[in-house]
Every structure is written in structure tokens, then in C-alpha cells.
Amino acid sequence: MANLDKYLTIEDLMKAARRRVPKMFFDYADSGAYTESTYRENTTDFEKIKLRQRVAVNLENRNLATTMMGQPVSMPVAIAPVGSTGMQSANGEIKAARAAEAFGIPFTLSTMSICSIEQVAEGTTQPFWFQLYVMRDRAFIERLIDRAKAAKCSVLVLTMDLQILGQRHKDIRNGLKAPPPITPKFLLELATKPAWAFGMLQSKSYTFGNIAGHVSEAVDLSSLSKWTATQFDLTLNWKDIAWIKKRFGGPVVVKGILDPEDARLAVEHGADGIIVSNHGGRQLDGAPSSIRVLPEIVDAVGDKTEVLMDSGIRSGQDVLKALALGAKGTFVGRAMNYGLGAGGEAGVTRALQIINKEMDTTMALMGERDIHHIGPHNIYSNELLKRQGY
């Protein structure tokens, strides 16, 4: 593995991942719905927020450690649930979970992961979080929740914004599947990605590990794909939080909140936390960025629940901006995927190191020593933010 210290930014890792990972899988991680306007604004809206610099302050003994959902973390960052992570690098979910564990932050496993809950649990030593898509087959979902409990998952992340799949043009054009179709075009590409291809020979799974072997109707890849395509539950509603929470028996965080009224409803129906998220710009194209709506959602729920945030975070500065606008913690998905594609477990570690270093240096230049003190006073101009619509 090449020396990863040469990668100084998440963008550096992104460029390296593009070189190493087959196009259909890199594009899957690096795309949004339709015109990708929301995907782009997730990052460009962060750039509009300016930080307040302070000087002549004692900067000794700085602290980034805090908690997320009551769990001690080395910095207010968790790894977001990302489907098909195991196609960025063999056993990618296990590698990312190990990197997160070593760094002292939460890892969240997607329902649509390549490695199964059990495989990730076997490959790690600490509890991780599990993200749940509610499907029509409620018996399967109940068993899936039970499997997460058996694996000692400490938090259940309930995604509410995928009752219907947003169209991602790149995935359709690339013919995305897991495993990939063995076409002449794909074989030709593999010839230019030998490290990825060789690594995949070591994979523990080549399909959706949480589903394969657990659904009677899905006996092979073809039937599994057909079953999954029919399982989006159009009837999912706020009342479903109650039975999911009862079944899991632990904290349930609702992901996919972009509207203050939805935030209030989530709290009313028992959410222990919410994640302000537009699914990385992969669902409703034209929706606002997560950072743009974060302040009004924080205002709507106050201290009634823990407000977390994802979508668009590419640096430690982005994390600090989210905290300044009211988030208690953040998630990184693409940054993790870029690291994984660039260098496997070590690449994820490098991504976390980059974000951590950026947070520490930026916090110091803002005149702060403790992450708990970050707030609206660290933003250059609250009035400017209001005029920009934040």
C-alpha cells in the first residue's frame, strides 16, 4: 500500500479512489439524484459560512472528545451508513468499522451492506450502530432488528426518507449491480484496476449480506434483486417508530429529517435522536442542503432530542460549522468511502486523521480549546447567515 500521508485532504483521497475503484462503484458513492443540485449544494453551502478568528488566547490542552447518543467519542464524527461499501474495497464494511473503532468513533452499518451484521460483529470488538430500512416484509425486518440486537448494536438508525428510490442517472447508465455484471466492458476496466480486482478475491460476500440467505424468496442474485426492488414500503409512517423501538430495546435515531415539522413529529413519536439529512443529495433533488436547514430544526426541537447531521461534510471545518449551528455530532459517508477506495482500512483511518487534524487546528485558530464551547459566536456574522437564508 502506498504511503497515505501524502493525502492531505478528503479531495486527495477522492482522486485516489477514482483511480483505484471501478467506475460503476466509484460513481455510486460519488453521485446524487437527477441534476445533482442538492448534492452540490451540500458542500457549497458549507463554503458560504465563514468562521470567526480570535487571537491572543491560551490554546493549551485542546479537547475534541465529546459524546454522541451518550457514547464517548474522540471527536463529534461518526461513519454514516453507506450501501455497498464492500464494493469499494473487499470487506469494506469490516475495514471501515475497524478504523472507526480504533479512532474511537461510531461506525454505522447499512441494511444494504455487502458484509452482514454478523460478519462485521465478528471482525470488530466494540458495539457498532445499525441503520434500518423498513421493508414491506415486516417479519424479515423483525428478524433483522433481532440480529442487530444479537450483534450488540448500540444504536438503531431508522432511515425515513427512502420509501421510494430517488433516480440516480449514473447508476442506471453504469448498470450498477452487486456483484457487477461480467461484461467485456467491465473486464476491460478490471485490467486497469488490478489491485481492486485482486482484493475482491478475498471478499467474504459479493451481494447484500444482510438479505441473502435470510429471505425465502431470494435464493439467488436474480431473485434477491427482484425481491429488494419490491420491498420499499410506501406505508411507512411515524407510528412505526413505536414498534421498532420496542423491538430493538435501545436508542432509535430517525434519519432523513429536513423539515422542522418532521423534527417535531419524530420527537413526539419517540425518536431518541434525529439526523438532519437529505441522503447525501441522493433522494429529492432540489431539496435544501442539510446545513441550510439545520438551525431552524435545532430551534424547532431545542433540547428535546439530540440533533445530529450529515450530507456534505468533507472537512474538519465543516464539522465545526455544523456544531456552531447547533448539531451535537456529524456523520461522514463519502469521505469514508473515498478513504476506503484509496487505501482500505488505512485509507479510512487517513480520512479520519485529516478531519481530526483540520478540526483541531481550526478550533485553535478560532480561539477555542474545548469542542463543547463551539457555538453561534464562532460564526463570522449571524446577520450575514440570516440574509443568506441559514
What are the distances in angstroms from CA 25 to CA 49, 171, 180, 272, 379? 32, 9, 9, 33, 37
Q: Which of 169, 214, 269, 279 is catalytic?
A: 279
Active site (annotated) includes residue 377: no
Residues in the chain: 390
Q: Taking Cα atoms as reference points, which of 20, 54, 38 lies closest to residue 258?
A: 38
Residues marked active site are found at: 279
